Amino acid sequence: MSSRGLILGIESSCDETAAAVVERGSLTLSSVVASQIATHARYGGVVPELASREHLRAIVPVVRAALAEAAVTLADLDAIAVTSGPGLAGALLVGLTYAKALAFAQNLPLIAVNHLEGHIHAVLLHEQETAQSSLDAQPAPDAPALALVVSGGHTHLYLARPTNGTWSYSLVGRTVDDAAGEAYDKVAKLLGLGYPGGPWIDALAPHGDPHAVPFSFAQIKTKAHLAGKPARTKAAKSAPIAALDPHFLFSFSGIKTAALRYVELHNLRPEAESRREALFTGPDAPAHPTIDQALATCDPTTLDLIASFQHAVVGDLLKKTFAAAESLSASRILVTGGVAANRELRARFTAEAARRGLHVAFPTLALSTDNAAMIAAAAWPRFTAGQFAPPDLSANPSLALGI
Ligand code: KG4
Ligand code: ZN
């Protein structure tokens, strides 16, 4: 066994098959992601059966590519880390089974990583990589941090604390229904934009008036109101609501319905349908539509809706995240997950943090969405603490973090 501290990470929880080699949890030697977007795009969302099939196809070449890119062999590795949940059951099983077999065959320890913990470590990994290459003042790496994980499956707030070299997490808030990324994807679909919708809305929003449509969020009032109610979505099932401060609860299903009403009121559906046909599904649709092509198909009313939707969602995420950080005395905010790639979100969180004298950090754009470098990085503290997975480790689609 080498002493380089090399961990091979494997991630297959949703629609990306990913593998990466990370040294000592702080230096990415390779990060390979095979996206299934093209497979799922025509259905406007992830089809679980297709996801499992695509993972089966991609897992071996993706792992090989990650090793080759890092210029290492299996014999150089110190451990294998894999996402054990949450995610799609069949999708998780592909990565998990492969990782278990590889660890067994190579006589390497296996480390199970929660996908959400992985997203948080995407920021920590980026912080460490930039600390190594810059002289800028970095926040104390062992200070407690408030983490917002905002993706297609989650909108969760955690207090993350380093304890004796490993991290512990307390759930502070979360969505009671849709995840923010899910709302982005649904509103984009409604407007005839491609899948996933987040990047399209991100790119088109600067062309509309963010104050044109006064979207608002009802404050979720009391714990009693939600206590004992069954969870309505997969995201909600992974963590209980009743124990949380209602000020830190999110709800994105209302804004999706409000967007639908706006589309109907302004008769935007025919325009959306012709946009979908021209750009994404029709026989003459370009292979890779550009932003300019999408922009040319949007009238000002649609652009106003897009800008206002994004402004409202980012505003709500910002308000509750900073309120939680303040209330829990966290001087550092980590924002991660696919929606953390959003430009308006990054700009407004950065400006608000500066205004309040807090530190905010994001992953690189590539590490914001699903990848395996974050899984290998999250595994490093567990490796040094000897926290290895049992031989009967199984996938847990609703695995919770920090309850
Ligand atoms: O983290 P991720 O790759 O997968 C999940 O764990 O869900 O996040 C994917 C989500 C999708 O909903 C996608 O629309 C959203 O992240 N997303 C964005 C942007 N890029 C990806 N949302 C807003 N703006 C973006 N630039
Ligand atoms: Zn994710």
Q: Is 199 in the pocket of ligand 1 (CB under 6 A)?
A: yes
Query: Is the per-residue pLDDT at 222 higher than 50?
Result: no
CB 51 within 8 A of CB 35: no
Higher-pLDDT residue of 251 and 140 is 251
Q: Is 301 in the pocket of ligand 1 (CB under 6 A)?
A: no
CB 8 within 8 A of CB 63: yes
Nearest to 9 by CA among 90, 88, 111, 93: 111
Query: Is the per-residue pLDDT at 229 higher than 70?
Result: no
pLDDT tens-digit profile of 269-313?
999 999 999 999 889 999 899 999 999 999 999 999 999 999 999
Q: Is 197 in the pocket of ligand 1 (CB under 6 A)?
A: yes
Least confident of 61-70, 231-240, 266-275, 320-329: 231-240
Q: Can you give the residue ranges of every domain in the chain?
A: 6-138+366-384, 175-329
Nearest to 226 by CA among 212, 238, 244, 210: 244
Mutate to test the pocket of ligand 1, among 14, 17, 339, 398 (most ligand atoms within 8 A of CB): 339
Least confident of 131-140, 239-248, 299-308: 131-140
The model's confidence at residue 32, banded by pLDDT at 50, 70 and 90, is very high
- Cα 110 to averaged position of ligand 2 atoms, centre (Å): 21
Q: Give the mean model confidence (pLDDT) for residues 44-53.
A: 86
Q: Give the mean model confidence (pLDDT) for residues 366-392.
A: 96
As a whole number of Å, the CA-based R_g of the chain is: 21
- Cα 154 to averaged position of ligand 2 atoms, centre (Å): 8
Question: What's the CATH fold of domain 175-329?
Answer: Nucleotidyltransferase; domain 5 (3.30.420)
Query: Is the per-residue pLDDT at 44 higher than 90?
Result: no
Mutate to test the pocket of ligand 1, among 151, 202, 234, 344 (most ligand atoms within 8 A of CB): 151
Q: Give the mean model confidence (pLDDT) for residues 188-212.
A: 96
Question: What DSSP state is assigned to residue 218?
Answer: P
CB 207 within 8 A of CB 298: yes
- Cα 328 to averaged position of ligand 1 atoms, centre (Å): 27
Q: Is 200 in the pocket of ligand 1 (CB under 6 A)?
A: no
Least confident of 58-62, 236-240, 316-320, 355-359: 236-240
Q: What is the pLDDT of residue 132?
A: 65
The number of angstroms, rounded, from the C-alpha of 271 to the middle of its chain's C-alpha atoms is: 31
Q: Is 87 in the pocket of ligand 1 (CB under 6 A)?
A: no
Q: What is the pLDDT of residue 96?
A: 98
Q: What is the pLDDT of residue 130?
A: 86
- Cα 234 to averaged position of ligand 1 atoms, centre (Å): 17
Query: Is the per-residue pLDDT at 1 higher than 80?
Result: no
Query: Is the per-residue pLDDT at 204 higher than 70?
Result: yes
Query: Is the per-residue pLDDT at 233 higher than 60?
Result: no
Lateral strand order in the sheet of 16-23? 27-35, 16-23, 6-11, 79-85, 110-114
Domain pair 6-138+366-384 / 175-329, same fold: yes
Q: What is the pLDDT of residue 116?
A: 97
Q: Is 369 in the pocket of ligand 1 (CB under 6 A)?
A: yes
- Buried (b) or exposed (e) across 317-344, using 16+ Cβ within 10 A? bbebbbbbbeebebbbbbbbbbbbbbeb
Q: Which atom of ligand 1 is nearest to the CA of 119?
A: 1
Q: What is the pLDDT of residue 224?
A: 45
CATH (one of 3.30.70.920, 3.30.420.40, 3.40.50.720, 1.20.120.450) for 6-138+366-384: 3.30.420.40
The model's confidence at residue 172, banded by pLDDT at 50, 70 and 90, is very high
Q: What is the pLDDT of residue 359?
A: 94
pLDDT tens-digit profile of 319-374?
999 999 999 999 899 999 999 999 999 999 999 999 999 999 999 999 999 999 99
Q: What is the pLDDT of residue 232?
A: 56
CB 23 within 8 A of CB 29: yes
Q: What is the pLDDT of residue 136?
A: 56
Q: What is the average pLDDT score of the chain? A: 91
User: CA-based diameter of the chain, in Å?
Assistant: 66
Mutate to test the pocket of ligand 1, among 149, 234, 369 (most ligand atoms within 8 A of CB): 369
Q: Is 181 in the pocket of ligand 1 (CB under 6 A)?
A: yes
- Cα 305 to averaged position of ligand 2 atoms, centre (Å): 27
Q: What is the pLDDT of residue 343?
A: 98
Q: Percentage of the chain with pLDDT > 70?
A: 91
Query: Is the per-residue pLDDT at 221 higher than 80?
Result: no
Terminal-residue alpha carbon distance, the chain? 36
Residues contacting residue 40 through CB under 8 Å, at least 6 positions apart: 15, 46, 47, 50, 51, 195
